Amino acid sequence: MKFDASDGAVASNRIPLTALEQHRGFVDRHIGTSDEEQAEMLELLGYPTRAALIDAVVPASIRQRAPLALAAAKGEEEALHELKQLAAELRQETIDAVSVTGGHLGAGLGVVELTIALHHVFDTPNDKLIWDVGHQSYPHKILTGRRDRIRTLRQGGGLSGFCKRAESEYDTFGAGHSSTSISAGLGMAVARDLSGKEHNVIAVIGDGAMSAGMAYEAMNNAGAIDSRLIVILNDNDMSIAPPVGAMSAYLAKLISGGTYRRFRRFLKQLAQRLLPKNWERRAARAEEFTRGFWTGGTLFEELGFYYVGPIDGHNFDHLLPVLRNVRTMKNGPILVHVVTQKGKGYPPAEISADKFHGVGRFNVVTGAQEASAAGTPPSYTKVFANALIEEARADEKIVAITAAMPSGTGLDKFAEIFPERCFDVGIAEQHAVTFAGGLAAEGYKPFAAIYSTFLQRAYDQVVHDVAIQHLPVRFAIDRAGLVGADGPTHAGSFDVAYLSCLPGIVVMAAADEVELMHMVATAAAIDDGPSAFRYPRGEGTGVPLPKRGTPLEIGKGRVLREGSAVALLSFGARLVECLEAADQLAGFGLPATVADARFAKPLDMDLLRNLALNHEVLVTIEEGSTGGFSARVLHALAREGLLDRGLKVRMLTLPDRFIEQNKPKTMYAEAGLDAPGIVAAVFAALGKERDAAGVIRLA
């Protein structure tokens, strides 16, 4: 049975033309079949089942797969055939690997041909290739000597889900947050120039990342410096590009070629010698306008870049000539506009690019992702979204803001019900915060839902535009603490430290789902200054949920268990571990009080005094860095003289290092923030140790 690409159907069993219908048709026929039959199905879909080229390929061998001169036409044709075969193999390897590990799929599938073309044309790693964010870097990792470990992606001790300098010389700049590649590339280009070297620097950035101001700041600076830098704009949302095709490919090849550029330089020099200065500027503008009219890119030209494109990012016949031309350019910054398709070559990802941007483990045949087990508690993100929806039903002044993470923050659900009250500002956290400040200044109640790690990017706006003006912006801080597979670039480690030092802000952390609902209600009720509440990634504890949260008394914690020897004061979602630690301590004759602080600012001083005066040991536990909740507690104890009576205090925070990706449970154990770590801290404070048999003895 053969797949006929011309009519999109299998000859013996005709299937509708669209990619998704083809895929579903094949799936219907092959569900429950043997591995051999499923392999046949994948081959029919166009995925190679044996890797003939990918096993041995590295960038050097990719560069050898096509002659630089086009004289040997037959050799070029054969080389292009091999590159296309390699692209098919690389695409299937990426799909198969991510189906096992989970991760970012759609963006990587969209740059398979571009990745091969870049490594084919440029002399990596001598030429510096920088991938913005790193979502699309999996094919790059496979081609650069890491294929044997690609199924360890995002696992403990495995490959990072992003580019990482310590992992490979081909990862020239680490990333995890967006829109940094042009700035880093410009720095590398200037360093090259200062060192008298001549290698290329290439930054690949997506159209989504171009919504961040940092990208334009870098381009503006690059245009002024005029250092030789190549920026590849990967436009996979069609948000920038006009239509692409044979004419645009021809124009891109023409204006990137040496003949056009030499003629352009000749006319420029002639104008400088013969024309008055104002006419010279008019002539330059006329040429720029004419080129921009036919190709687009006027904005980039205004920023000082020589614009080339748009070109089809899946067509080697278009990519290779343009990249070769660009490689030989010696003057100024250049932007190559490449149009790609997210999820290219995998029908489920082509149809649902949003769902296949970041995925869990999935079935390659059906595209179905692993579902949570029945009865699994809802995620904190979902609880937040539902709680905010209930508050918004009762108060029409409540609005929600996200910075390009509607599904990640749960605000896509809010937008379905209140589309006019939900704002996705793009990858623009600085703007999001000040935008929220403007809404608050006019009497609205903005909730800015931003991951902890991304809120770092808007700290000046939090201070200058919100806190100083006492504006009631509510920060819903998702992904607080350690985040598992995304590793240190996405860990929510620092928000308590950098927020609780600001005058007038209320800082909360949810111990469970109900507490999160109460904190949403509390933030909605605060109208005299900014507030923030943090909550972790993942599933909740499974406690029964009310219909709507109830506002908490500001600055008041709660005691969950009374003891006499040890006090465990938790801030955030480590409360469950504190309760388990208390159970273990009770078995050793050390009855423990367990308290939930709820607030890092303002602190519950009555609770602190009670814990300090009535226990021998006080241990604080938080999912954040030093300088946060524990530091504030210690400062308050010292100020009140509560350390003068011999109280033994231990502060459990994240260690002073970045913790690499792993399962969250393993990461928290490594940080000493699980029940055994808490028990060990108590024993250390008492000058005791517990041996392997569990017997307590003096240290």
**Does position 68 have pLDDT exceeding 70, yes or no?**
no
**Active site annotation includes 342:** yes
Q: Tens of pLDDT along 278-298?
A: 555 555 555 554 445 444 567
Q: Tens of pLDDT along 580-609?
A: 999 999 999 999 999 999 999 999 999 999
Question: Among candidates 62, 168, 198, 205, which has minimal Cα distance to 121?
Answer: 62
Q: Tens of pLDDT along 611-630?
A: 999 999 999 999 999 999 99
Q: Of 24, 342, 534, 632, which one is the catalytic site residue? A: 342
Residues of the chain with CATH 3.40.50.970: 56-255+301-351, 380-534
Q: What pLDDT is attached to residue 53?
A: 79
Average pLDDT over residues 58-83: 68
Lowest mean pLDDT among 149-153, 224-228, 300-304, 376-380: 300-304
**Does position 413 have pLDDT exceeding 70, yes or no?**
yes
Percent of the chain with pLDDT over 90: 70
Average pLDDT over residues 51-77: 65
Task: Please state which CATH class domain 380-534 belongs to.
Answer: alpha beta
Task: Tabulate helix, strand, coil % of the chain (nearest 5).
Answer: 45, 15, 40
Residue type, 18: T
CATH architecture of the domain 56-255+301-351 equals: 3-Layer(aba) Sandwich (3.40)
Q: Tens of pLDDT along 633-682?
A: 999 999 999 999 999 999 999 999 999 999 999 999 999 999 999 999 99
Average pLDDT over residues 466-495: 97
Q: What pLDDT is attached to residue 4?
A: 34
**Does position 277 have pLDDT exceeding 90, yes or no?**
no
Q: Of 154, 228, 413, 457, which one is the catalytic site residue? A: 457
550 with 525: CB under 8 angstroms? no
Question: Among candidates 223, 222, 183, which has minimal Cα distance to 304?
Answer: 223
Which CATH number describes the domain made up of 558-698? Answer: 3.40.50.920
**Active site annotation includes 265:** no
Lowest mean pLDDT among 45-49, 145-149, 180-184, 545-549: 45-49
Q: Are strands 558-561 and 422-424 parallel, antiparallel or unpaired?
A: unpaired
**Sheet containing 201-206: order of strands:** 128-131, 201-206, 230-235, 334-339, 306-312
Q: What pLDDT is attached to residue 432?
A: 97
Q: What pLDDT is attached to residue 66?
A: 56
Q: What pLDDT is attached to residue 256?
A: 55
Residue type, 268: K
319 with 292: CB under 8 angstroms? no
Q: Of 93, 429, 515, 623, which one is the catalytic site residue? A: 429
- What pLDDT band is residue 259 in, cutting at 50, 70 and 90? low
pTM, to two decimals: 0.84
443 with 499: CB under 8 angstroms? no
Max intra-chain CA distance, the chain: 96
Average pLDDT score over the chain: 86
* Token output for 293: 């009219």
452 with 430: CB under 8 angstroms? no
Q: What pLDDT is attached to residue 354?
A: 75
Residues of the chain with CATH 3.40.50.920: 558-698
Percent of the chain with pLDDT over 70: 81
DSSP 484-507: GGGGGGS-B-SHHHHHHTSTT-EE
- What pLDDT band is residue 247 in, cutting at 50, 70 and 90? very low
Q: Tens of pLDDT along 334-351?
A: 999 999 999 999 999 998
Place of tokens 């310590």: 166
Average pLDDT over residues 208-221: 91
